[in-house]
């Protein structure tokens, strides 16, 4: 009986690897995001370390910010909003610094935005030309994370902008390092930027027990390693979600744990 979890995990890895190989063989890049998303959706709820209330808040934040920014700054900015654990990551382009600051100010004013990471670039004519390739890379990295040993893939959010992969999520230091290595070794990725919320091993065990599911298990990585960026984050501990119910849709009692050291790879910077 003790071998059943291992056998199930092995079968899962084989199925995931077969899906990746099938895409590579047929070279149907357009179908890859669909396949990866379908595989991921089957276990996302079970392994997501965010409480249900926080997941609801994240979806609301994303919808509100996306809707407002797309209508308010149409033609002046191309903003991609990514939210995980009430941390809001902004990527894309703004026509000038004034627009960038206006976008930043609006998002920081949202009631449930815990942290805002503004990675918008100043570009005179914001473009959509690279989005298709970015979507493909995001799906590719997600699939690699799902088949990597010791990586809680459904507690990690992946987004890509101009071939730079951003990683958000609730992880331990070791899990974050492994996820970073997987992403930076995925072909096509030019750089990896971390924006994790780190938790202790004890908190990880508690969150995983609450999720009633084990993390996906191993497979290899491919591609040429990409550099990892790291910048000083917000001083002090990083907030991680607790099981407690939320008031006004926000987590009432966050759990805190120390910020882990960044991966020592040039040029390094770790987002807050």
The model's pLDDT over 221-260, given as tens digits with 9 standing for 90+, comes to 444 577 776 543 433 333 434 333 333 333 333 333 333 3
Question: Tokens 């091993």 belong to which residue?
Answer: 201
DSSP 110: S
Phi-psi region of 250 (alpha: psi -120 to 50; beta: other; left: phi over 0): beta
Confidence of residue 89 (pLDDT cuts 50, 70, 90): very high
* CB neighbour list of residue 21: distance below 8 Å, 6 or more residues apart: none
Check residues 242 and 99 and name the one with the higher pLDDT. Answer: 99
Check residues 55 and 12 and name the one with the higher pLDDT. Answer: 55
Neighbouring C-alpha atoms within 13 Å toward the C-beta of 207: 27
Number of domains in the chain: 1
What pLDDT is attached to residue 45? 40
pTM: 0.66
Backbone angles phi, psi at 264, to 5 degrees: -85, 75
Check residues 249 and 190 and name the one with the higher pLDDT. Answer: 190
Tokens of 27: 């070279």
DSSP 85: T
> What's the mean pLDDT when you consider all of the chain?
74
Statement: residue 211 has pLDDT above 80: no
Q: Please, are residues 194 and 232 in contact by the beta-carbon 8 Å criterion?
A: no
Domain containing 82 equals: 1-272
Provide mean pLDDT across the span 208-215. Answer: 65
Statement: residue 99 has pLDDT above 70: yes
Check residues 216 and 78 and name the one with the higher pLDDT. Answer: 78
Question: Tokens 């690699």 belong to which residue?
Answer: 144
């Amino acid at each position: 009986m003790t071998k059943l979890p291992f056998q199930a995990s092995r079968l899962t890895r084989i199925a995931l690897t077969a899906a990746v190989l099938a895409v590579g063989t047929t070279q149907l890049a357009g179908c890859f995001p669909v396949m990866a998303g379908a595989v991921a959706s089957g276990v996302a709820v079970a392994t997501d370390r965010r409480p249900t209330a926080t997941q609801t808040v994240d979806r609301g934040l994303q919808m509100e910010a996306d809707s407002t920014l797309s209508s308010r700054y149409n033609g002046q900015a191309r903003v991609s909003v990514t939210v995980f654990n009430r941390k809001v990551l902004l990527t894309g382009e703004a026509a000038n610094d004034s627009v960038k600051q206006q976008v930043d100010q609006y998002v920081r004013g949202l009631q449930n935005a815990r942290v805002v990471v503004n990675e918008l670039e100043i570009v005179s004519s914001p473009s959509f030309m690279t989005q298709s390739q970015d979507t493909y890379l995001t799906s590719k990295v997600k699939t690699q994370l799902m088949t990597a040993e010791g990586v809680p893939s459904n507690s990690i959010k992946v987004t890509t902008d101009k071939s730079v992969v951003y990683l958000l999520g609730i992880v331990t230091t070791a899990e974050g390092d492994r996820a970073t290595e997987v992403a930076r070794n995925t072909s096509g990725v030019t750089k990896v930027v971390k924006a994790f919320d780190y938790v202790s091993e004890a908190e990880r065990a508690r969150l995983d027990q609450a999720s009633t599911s084990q993390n996906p298990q191993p497979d290899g990585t491919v591609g040429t390693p990409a550099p990892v960026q790291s910048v000083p984050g917000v001083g002090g501990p990083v907030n991680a979600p607790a099981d407690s119910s939320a008031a006004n849709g926000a987590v009432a009692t966050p759990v805190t744990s120390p910020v882990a050291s960044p991966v020592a790879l040039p040029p390094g910077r770790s987002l807050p």
